[in-house]
Chain A
């Protein structure tokens, strides 16, 4: 009730911060109409989940306010006002996301803060017992059996005052405060770079209220403080103010060692500083749990997969999780006309991104999406703001709608921000479960590479090179609608490849392989283990398929009346199976056991 009252009060007060006179009254008119229709819908639709309804209403109000801020004629605009507005939104978002307990790395940052507060050390043995978490096997151990965490300790220090005063809520408030500072700093940076106010106002809601910043400004991760320090460092370097950039850069590196690569990128024109920084970085590197091997280039295919995954993967790619930032990449292809700060930011981050790409968790770690590149978003936002006049209006509208949808989804079901890299994601899983057909195959994945991933990569590359530019006759929205509808119509038809662990497969017995919370699950070939009497049914096209599986016991399986005997083997095997008709078919295990990986039409 208090939260609802606060939300209503905020919706009335927030416009006063940024609008005035006729624009303010016009907004209040629109706001009153929104309340009226929300009331009518609430009365007429008792079946709607109240949480979803309230969050959707809040999102509509925020989108309306953002439209007025972007297009209104009488707007009070400054970096501080923008930051204050962001602060209000983060304050409202924290309790919404707080229904999902700390996940990923968050508990370790909090446990370290608690350990510093209560024991004055970083030995987490007490905290592991109290919080119920377990240490990673390869985490550092002290001479007397102390259990340390591999996670950098600077974030724990930053949240320590807030944590000491108000516990986890204080820690969250500290991060939100960094979010507010980041918004202010980014808007000021845009002013420094000569971005017109109108463009900054248009970009601001995408950046401040959209993913991934919304997720990381309201949970305990180092990404938002890192983004703040990164922007401050960039601004300091640009203004040649060492007293600004040196502490910012030090803080950035202390937050996460890998950000040292960003520091290297930022200082590459200052050889002495670069050498000193690199030396410090190496010392620091040697003293922590990171491995030297991480700096050795990996095989080229891993870089490609990482890059395309970061671009288009449904679970952790920009195109799906934060499409607005594709406009920032659009600026990348207009390098000479991009602002100086954008170029400096991209150059600074390029070494870090390069080293990130081959890592398997580059785009699919156990964290809210875009974990490893969230700190880069202010730079991409600056690029988007610089290109604003040159961007397709239809693409902006689609990106806005998508952003609102992703934000509402994440705020309503925060646990869905964390997803195991199975090659599926919430939309595909939900559609597959609803229509019992394989929709996930139509959504790009690089954690389990599929054809849609490569098609998506081509589409996104087309978009960021030419497709997002402003066209005289803009057909972006109808073409997007057509793609959506055609994709849906196609998704209801059986695919040529069936992944047995996927949602669309109706399992009657058996179990998932590897188990759901297997560490580094994405390095395994997934599958569904069928034992005698278990079955799996799915939609398939008529024809001959190659069934990929592994079995240690051997098995007899039956598919639509035909039995196949398979012998035990240590490696994955393939057997040719026949689907005699289009439609739903059932694969049964008659004896033994089989780990069915996938079935592909020949």
Chain B
């Protein structure tokens, strides 16, 4: 009967979220999934966590600004999973002999928390999920949690491992399996049940706060950690210069920097020249900018590009497919009305320097 209540609650929550959907992003469209996930967290932690469903609906209705709305959803999901971690810690304390705690909780919440976190972090957009692979991954995550003693720390290890694992099929499973092996070995050799409640809870909450762009967190963490300013107006140029090709551009009023990126240069490392700006002979190198698509899910692990020093890339896509393009800012020569950008002669035939615009 208790399970029926929660199943009914999840169904009602999902339907309510479905009715509330207003916006077109994959995260908004996945609102019923978020509602069900929050309900599941409530079922294994504290029933009041169900308020997260109300907050999801209010956020969808009330917040028009996309980034604010999606981070609001992230905060709700982070709170729901963190409550599971808290519940696990309480249950852990209750399970200790002689604890005197009469509120014995279930540590199975740890497995649920890991599963919910991974579904939110990896399964959106839903249309692009490889279900079998992801289910196997969830299974491995559950095993890691169980092997490490169903503690908050175990949840954090399982989630971080499966979250950061590469996309290439073999390595997708190989890294988590490797971690599982290490965990089993460590336990055999006497590793205790580490709790680390606060650190684990904060780590999980941080990941889930940004679940709407989990791909960016997984592959471009520095972008998430830096301070976001109000986006300056950008004058688009959209020129691609092949080796030795030059082009002259008029500098718009009040422009301070040139936005550039590379095309097909993902295999090169820091310092490789991409081109230069005249007047001033300002060199553009990998490190000032990166390959435009180097941080895509499919390409990031084969790329040797460093992150641009002054990232000007924009977040593309949502969920685990989100990525940051490799554009970077290069300061313009002071007072120049026109500039000439020349692609470096050493660029391979299929590569180019992309002048995206002025800011």
Residue A477 CB within 8 A of the other chain: yes
Residue A480 CB within 8 A of the other chain: yes
13 intermolecular pairs with C-beta atoms under 8 Å apart: A37-B209, A40-B206, A44-B228, A46-B228, A47-B68, A398-B51, A475-B8, A475-B9, A477-B47, A478-B9, A478-B53, A482-B15, A488-B61
A397 to B18, CA, bound (A): 22
A33 to B50, CA, bound (A): 21
Q: Which of A43, A479, A488, A489 contacts B228 (CB 8 A)?
A: A43
Q: Across the two chains, which residue of chain B brings its CB closest to A43?
A: B227
| Contact B16–A486 (Cβ < 8 Å) | yes
Within the complex, the shortest CB–CB distance from A56 to chain B, in Å, comes to 11
Q: Which of A46, A397, A431, A484 contacts B229 (CB 8 A)?
A: A46
- Main secondary structure on B side of the interface with A: helix
| Contact B228–A45 (Cβ < 8 Å) | yes
A34 to B202, CA, bound (A): 10
Q: Which residues of B contact A486 (CB under 8 A)?
A: 16, 19
Q: Which residues of B contact A41 (CB under 8 A)?
A: 71, 75, 209
Contacts A41-B71, A44-B228 given; does A473 touch B19 at CB 8 Å: no
**CB-CB contacts of B28-56 with A at 8 A, as 1s and 0s?**
00000001000100000001101101110
Q: Which residues of A contact B50 (CB under 8 A)?
A: 394, 397, 477-478, 481
**CB-CB contacts of A28-42 with B at 8 A, as 1s and 0s?**
010001001100110
Within the complex, the shortest CB–CB distance from A250 to chain B, in Å, comes to 45
Residue A13 CB within 8 A of the other chain: no
Contacts A33-B198, A478-B16, A482-B16 given; does A40 touch B209 at CB 8 Å: yes
A43 to B227, CA, bound (A): 5
Q: Which residues of A contact B48 (CB under 8 A)?
A: 393-394, 397, 477
| Contact B19–A489 (Cβ < 8 Å) | yes
Q: Which of A36, A43, A474, A481 contacts B54 (CB 8 A)?
A: A481
A44 to B35, CA, bound (A): 24
A40 to B175, CA, bound (A): 29
Q: Which residues of B contact A36 (CB under 8 A)?
A: 202
- 8 A Cβ contacts from A451-483 to B: 473-475, 477-482
Contacts A475-B9, A478-B50 given; does A488 touch B39 at CB 8 Å: no
Contacts A398-B54, A473-B5, A478-B9 given; does A47 touch B205 at CB 8 Å: no
| 4 A-B pairs with least C-beta separation | A478-B12, A485-B19, A477-B50, A485-B16
Residue B17 CB within 8 A of the other chain: yes
A397 to B47, CA, bound (A): 9
Residue A288 CB within 8 A of the other chain: no
| Contact B9–A484 (Cβ < 8 Å) | no
Q: Across the two chains, which residue of chain B brings its CB closest to A32?
A: B198
Q: Across the two chains, which residue of chain A brings its CB closest to B8?
A: A475
Known: A47-B65, A475-B5. 4 other contacts (CB 8 A): A473-B1, A478-B12, A482-B15, A488-B57
**CB-CB contacts of A397-431 with B at 8 A, as 1s and 0s?**
11001000000000000000000000000000001
Q: Which of B5, B58, B67, B205 contacts A484 (CB 8 A)?
A: B58
A44 to B212, CA, bound (A): 13
Q: Which residues of B contact A431 (CB under 8 A)?
A: 61
Within the complex, the shortest CB–CB distance from B58 to chain A, in Å, comes to 7
A43 to B210, CA, bound (A): 13
A538 to B13, CA, bound (A): 32
| Contact B17–A485 (Cβ < 8 Å) | yes
A166 to B285, CA, bound (A): 64
Residue B20 CB within 8 A of the other chain: yes
Residue B224 CB within 8 A of the other chain: yes
Within the complex, the shortest CB–CB distance from B215 to chain A, in Å, comes to 16
Q: Across the two chains, which residue of chain A brings its CB closest to B48?
A: A397
Residue A48 CB within 8 A of the other chain: yes
Within the complex, the shortest CB–CB distance from A427 to chain B, in Å, comes to 9
Residue B130 CB within 8 A of the other chain: no
| Contact A46–B13 (Cβ < 8 Å) | no
Q: Which residues of A contact B24 (CB under 8 A)?
A: none
Within the complex, the shortest CB–CB distance from A399 to chain B, in Å, comes to 11
| Contact B67–A45 (Cβ < 8 Å) | yes
- Counting contact residues on chain A (CB < 8 A from B), the size range is 20 to 34
Residue A565 CB within 8 A of the other chain: no
Q: Which residues of A contact B2 (CB under 8 A)?
A: 473
| Contact A478–B228 (Cβ < 8 Å) | no
Within the complex, the shortest CB–CB distance from A78 to chain B, in Å, comes to 26
| Contact A397–B51 (Cβ < 8 Å) | yes
Residue B230 CB within 8 A of the other chain: yes
Contacts A47-B65, A475-B8, A488-B19 given; does A481 touch B57 at CB 8 Å: yes
Residue B201 CB within 8 A of the other chain: yes
A474 to B39, CA, bound (A): 13
Residue A520 CB within 8 A of the other chain: no
| Contact B20–A33 (Cβ < 8 Å) | no
| Contact A482–B226 (Cβ < 8 Å) | no
Q: Which residues of B contact A475 (CB under 8 A)?
A: 5, 8-9, 12
A479 to B50, CA, bound (A): 11
Contacts A473-B1, A485-B19 given; does A37 touch B75 at CB 8 Å: yes
A474 to B16, CA, bound (A): 17
Contacts A33-B202, A484-B58 given; does A434 touch B228 at CB 8 Å: no
A488 to B16, CA, bound (A): 10
Contacts A29-B198, A397-B50, A480-B54 given; does A44 touch B230 at CB 8 Å: no
Residue B167 CB within 8 A of the other chain: no
Q: Which residues of B contact A434 (CB under 8 A)?
A: 64
| Contact B205–A48 (Cβ < 8 Å) | no
Q: Which residues of A contact B18 (CB under 8 A)?
A: 485
Within the complex, the shortest CB–CB distance from A437 to chain B, in Å, comes to 12
Within the complex, the shortest CB–CB distance from A407 to chain B, in Å, comes to 15
Q: Which residues of A contact B17 (CB under 8 A)?
A: 481, 485
Within the complex, the shortest CB–CB distance from B62 to chain A, in Å, comes to 8
Q: Which residues of A contact B35 (CB under 8 A)?
A: 481
Q: Which residues of A contact B224 (CB under 8 A)?
A: 44
Q: Which residues of A contact B12 (CB under 8 A)?
A: 475, 478-479, 481-482
Within the complex, the shortest CB–CB distance from B166 to chain A, in Å, comes to 26
Q: Which residues of A contact B67 (CB under 8 A)?
A: 44-45, 47
Q: Which residues of A contact B47 (CB under 8 A)?
A: 393-394, 397, 474, 477
A36 to B203, CA, bound (A): 11
Q: Which residues of A contact B16 (CB under 8 A)?
A: 478, 481-482, 484-486
| Contact A37–B20 (Cβ < 8 Å) | no
Within the complex, the shortest CB–CB distance from B155 to chain A, in Å, comes to 16
A475 to B12, CA, bound (A): 9
Q: Across the two chains, which residue of chain A brings its CB closest to B13?
A: A478
Q: Which residues of A contact B65 (CB under 8 A)?
A: 47
A486 to B15, CA, bound (A): 10
Q: Which residues of B contact A485 (CB under 8 A)?
A: 15-20, 57
- 8 A Cβ contacts from A38-72 to B: 40-41, 43-48
A398 to B55, CA, bound (A): 11
Q: Across the two chains, which residue of chain A brings its CB closest to B64?
A: A434
| Contact A401–B230 (Cβ < 8 Å) | no
A479 to B15, CA, bound (A): 11
| Contact B71–A484 (Cβ < 8 Å) | no
Q: Which residues of B contact A43 (CB under 8 A)?
A: 226-228
A434 to B62, CA, bound (A): 9
Within the complex, the shortest CB–CB distance from A460 to chain B, in Å, comes to 19
A8 to B198, CA, bound (A): 22
